[in-house]
Amino acid sequence: MRLTTHTDFALRTLMYLTAKVERTTVTQVAELYGVSPNHMAKVVNQLARLGYVRSMRGIGGGIELAKQPEDIRLGDVIEAFEGNMHLLECVATEDVCAIQSFCKLKGALAEAERVQLEYLNGVTLADVAPTKRQFTRVNSPAS
């Protein structure tokens, strides 16, 4: 499985928000990762629709986590952003291959998918998020 850039930035945004104590802005997150604020806004919008992020408008507004980091499972986030995570079409669909009725590859791939998702759902955002201090070092100019 290879994640899309959209999913990558969703995970990175969640990690950043975990390390931040105060609200931040989409622009600040985009600047940290060196991406377009418009692209980051799309990522944050989807995170908000999925209930992972709260977005407030106006003075004092910004974005923040809507859930506790220990309640956000990586597998859930990845699945929400990626949608179909099947390694091959035949894993989820019948009658797509001439040998499907006796093919053992389908079962092996289905098991690999199951194990991968089970593992990712055992890892929370709290398990992978850097500390605020680590992010501070990234934001500081090099001496």
Helix or strand run (H / E) with residue 63: strand 62-65
Domain carrying residue 22: 1-71+128-143
* Model confidence pLDDT, tens digit, residues 69-122: 999 999 999 999 998 777 777 777 788 888 888 888 888 888 888 899 999 999
pLDDT at 142: 47
pLDDT at 118: 94
Same domain, 66 and 134: yes
Same domain, 133 and 106: no
Query: 13 by DSSP, 3-state: which?
Result: helix
pLDDT at 51: 97
Same domain, 23 and 50: yes
Same domain, 33 and 103: no
Dihedrals phi, psi of 66, to nearest 5 degrees:
-100, -10
Q: Name residue, tokens 């802005």.
A: 25
* Model confidence pLDDT, tens digit, residues 23-55: 899 999 999 999 999 999 999 999 999 999 999
Same domain, 35 and 66: yes
Check which CATH number belongs to the domain holding 4 and give it.
Answer: 1.10.10.10
